[in-house]
Amino acid sequence: MSLTMYRPDYPRPQFVREDWQNLNGEWNFRFDDKNRGEAEQWYRKFEADLAIQVPFVYETKASGIEDTSFHPYVWYQRHFSIPAEQRDKRTLLHFQAVDYTAKVWVNGSYIGSHEGGYSAFSFDITPYLVDGDNLLVVKAEDSEDCTQPRGKQRWRKDNFACWYVQTTGIWQTVWLEYVSEQYVQSAKITPDLDANAVRFDYRVGGLSPQGVQHNGNYYLTTKITLDGQLIKETGITVDRSALSLTVDLISETPEWRIQTWSPENPKLYEVEFILNDGNGTIDRVHSYFGLRKVSIQKGKVLLNNLQIYQRLILDQGYWTDSHLTPPSEEAIIEDIDKILAMGYNGVRKHQKIEDARFLYWCDVKGLLVWSEMAATYEFNDLAINRFTREWQDIVEQHYNHPCIITWVPFNESWGIANVFTNRKQQSFTEAIYHLTKSFDPYRPVVVNDGWEHTISDIITLHDYEESGDKFAIRYENKDAITSNEISHMNWKYAMAQGYGYRGQPIIISEFGGIAFQSESGWGYGNQVASEEAFLERFRNITQAIKSTEYICGFCYTQVTDVQQEVNGLLYEDRTPKIEMAKIKEINLA
Domains contained in the chain, CATH given: 3-179 (2.60.120.260), 183-289 (2.60.40.10), 294-588 (3.20.20.80)
Contacts 24+ apart (CB under 8 A), 157-162: 157/69, 157/70, 159/563, 159/564, 162/562, 162/565
Q: Rg of the Cα trace of the chain?
A: 24
Alpha-carbon dihedral angle through residues 434, 439, 441, 447, given to the nearest 10 degrees: -40
Angle value at C-alpha 323, between 318 and 327, nearest 5 degrees: 90
Rounded Cα–Cα distance for residues 568 and 513 (Å): 7
Q: Is 57 helix (H, G, I), strand (E, B) or coil?
A: coil
Helix (H, G, I), strand (E, B), or coil: what is residue 247?
Answer: strand
Q: Name which of 118, 112, 166 is nearest 142 in CA terms.
A: 166
Residue from 57, 63, 27, 23 nearest 174 by CA: 23
The tens-digit pLDDT sequence of the chain (589 residues) is 456 556 778 999 999 999 999 999 999 999 999 999 999 999 998 899 999 999 999 999 999 999 999 999 999 999 999 999 999 999 999 999 999 999 999 999 999 999 999 999 999 999 999 999 999 999 999 999 999 999 999 999 999 999 999 999 999 999 999 999 999 999 999 999 999 999 999 999 998 766 555 556 899 999 999 999 999 999 999 999 999 999 999 987 767 789 999 999 999 999 999 999 999 999 999 999 999 999 999 999 999 999 999 999 999 999 999 999 999 999 999 999 999 999 999 999 999 999 999 999 999 999 999 999 999 999 999 999 999 999 999 999 999 999 999 999 999 999 999 999 999 999 999 999 999 999 999 999 999 999 999 999 999 999 999 999 999 999 999 999 999 999 987 789 999 999 999 999 999 999 999 999 999 999 999 999 999 999 999 999 999 999 999 999 999 999 999 999 999 999 999 999 999 999 999 999 9
Quickly count: other Cβ atoms within 10 Å of residue 533's Cβ.
15
In sequence order, the β-bridge partners of residue 98 are: 170
Distances (CA, A) of 467 to 221, 462, 511, 532: 59, 15, 11, 15
Task: Please count the other Cβ atoms lying within 10 Å of the Cβ belonging to residue 42.
Answer: 19
Can you give the pTM of this predicted structure? 0.96
